[in-house]
Chains A and B, each alone.
Chain A
Amino acid sequence: MKVQEKPKKSLSNWARGRSLWMIHFCTGCGAMEMPPTMTSRYDMERFGIIPMATPRQADLLLITGYLTVKTLKRVIRTYEQMQDPKWVIGFGSCTLNGGMYWDSYNTIKRLDLYLPVDVYIAGCMPRPEAIIEAFVRLQEGIARGEFDGWRRYRENLAWYRANQAKVMDVNRWGALP
């Protein structure tokens, strides 16, 4: 992998951190923790984070749970439709190491091989408090200019494509997304 640029503070980085528009790709049971995080009880809008309807408008992709190989293709397509700079949060143990699907034949075990994940939330399930802590960490990091998964993905596209092709070919899901 290439060496990354030095992080720097700027006005736009500050604004980016304070206004994250999120698209949550509800793949697994993690989606169930999002409604309380969005609504009155935990109210993530106070951090400037709101759910968006389409990937074009969004800055933050939330992978909530396990990813089957079939879904991975859709997730990659969704990620590539988003506009730079963009960030990914891997949500729950499934995105870290497979979690309870560690020996499943048709789910991916490490999300990081296929998409540049910026923040992981460990746990099965992570509670809304954990999700909000991840959001705050991400916001602080963005304000300092640290999280640049989108640049990593752009610069190491061949490496990610090779990893993606590996699982997709094995399962005969056709050409690259």
Chain B
Amino acid sequence: MNWIQATSIVWVPLLAIATGLLYMGIARKVIARIQRRYGPPVYQNFLDTLKLLSKRTAISHGTIFDLGPIMALAGGLLTLLFLPIGGYRLLSFQGDLLVVLYLVVIAPLGMALGAGDSANPNAAIGMARGLTLMLAYEVPFVLAILAVMVKYNTASLWDIVQAQAGGWHHWNLFALPLSAIVADISLQGMMGKKPFDQPVAPHEIASGPMVEYGGKYLAMLQLYHAVAIFVETSLFTVLFLGGGPLWAFLLKTFVVFLVAVLIHAVAPRFRIGQAFTFYWKWPTLLGLLGLVWALVL
């Protein structure tokens, strides 16, 4: 038990990468079955990453272009270390929820910096859309998190998990249902799943920020994407589904991810303006109601 805790700073990032890549593969399989296709094997994304890492050449467009994917991956991994994964505390401290709120922004900003340096108009459009979308979903997401913080009077993720212990009826999903719904809608935008995949719309802007990235850079972004999926589903699990031991934790993150994928598979894409209006209208309103719920009840 003790040495697992002690080495967690090593195995948690590896677990996040492996789980994220597996989830991405499962998502492709699920989408294929919804479209009545056979679909790729679930380990396809491991093969893709291996292939990208073994590319011989990689064109660079400058220093910031090189640093962008590294900053994105590092930001994702740093956020991960503040989350209580499966009941293990890594860098947790009082008030780490506020730190996490700042850290989740680092990765998209790194991506935006790198994309900006590639000087491709499609990348610039994708970057602008990504940052606009971030501005849109952060407001309802922060309202949902505020409700949780108000209910337990703490900003520590560890305390929030502890407060939800003792059965499913203690989970915030049932204690604060409005905020949970708002957070899940925000999660859809955070993960870039449809209807909020405007930043990387491949048919409009040729995969947006990633347009000039190839070879090993793309492998780095693939790994970042895997970590990001794990971080975002974990954050929701910690805040609203009560954490749990490692197997239950992974199961819960998978369910959260699967809900997002199922919506993704059947939804069309909003325009960026529509997405912005949507987020600042209904989820924000629900989020305010959820905050009142947390204050009154």
Interface residues, chain A, with chain B CB atoms under 8 Å away: 11-12, 15-16, 18-19, 21, 39-40, 43, 45-48, 52-54, 56-57, 59, 81-85
Contact = CB atoms under 8 A, between A and B. Distances in A.
Contacts of B39: 43, 45-46
A57 B214 contact: yes
B56 A85 contact: yes
B60 to A, nearest CB: 11
Contacts of A16: 51, 54
Contacts of B207: 52-54, 57
Interface in B7-62: 28, 32, 35-41, 44, 47-48, 50-51, 53-59
Contacts, number: 81
Nearest to A58: B214
20 contacts: A12-B50, A12-B51, A12-B53, A15-B50, A18-B44, A19-B44, A19-B51, A21-B48, A43-B38, A46-B32, A46-B37, A46-B39, A47-B40, A48-B48, A53-B202, A53-B211, A57-B214, A83-B214, A83-B215, A84-B55
A56 to B, nearest CB: 4
A53 B38 CA distance: 23
Contacts of B44: 18-19, 48
A152 B226 CA distance: 36
A132 to B, nearest CB: 12
A41 to B, nearest CB: 9
B37 A45 contact: yes
A21 B37 CA distance: 18
Contact of A12 (B32, B48, B54, B212): B54
Contacts of B267: none
5 A-B pairs with the lowest CB-CB distances in the bound complex, closest first? A12-B54, A56-B214, A53-B206, A15-B50, A84-B56
A85 B211 contact: no
Given A19-B48, A57-B214, A84-B56, A46 B35 contact: no
A57 B36 CA distance: 27
Contacts of B47: 15, 18-19, 48
A1 to B, nearest CB: 20
Given A11-B50, A19-B47, A43-B32, A56 B40 contact: no
A28 B50 CA distance: 33
B245 to A, nearest CB: 34
A57 B210 contact: yes
Nearest to B38: A46
Contacts of B48: 19, 21, 48
A56 B38 contact: no
Given A19-B48, A54-B211, 20 more contacts: A15-B51, A16-B54, A19-B50, A19-B51, A40-B35, A47-B40, A48-B41, A48-B47, A52-B207, A53-B207, A54-B207, A54-B212, A54-B214, A56-B59, A56-B213, A81-B59, A83-B55, A83-B57, A83-B214, A85-B55
A82 B56 CA distance: 11
A59 B59 contact: no
B218 interface: yes
A19 to B, nearest CB: 4
Contacts of A57: 207, 210, 213-214, 218
A88 B147 CA distance: 56
Nearest to B203: A53
A138 B187 CA distance: 40
Contacts of B203: 53
A80 B32 CA distance: 32
Contacts of A15: 47, 50-51, 54
A147 B41 CA distance: 24
Interface string B195-229: 00000001100110011111100100000000000
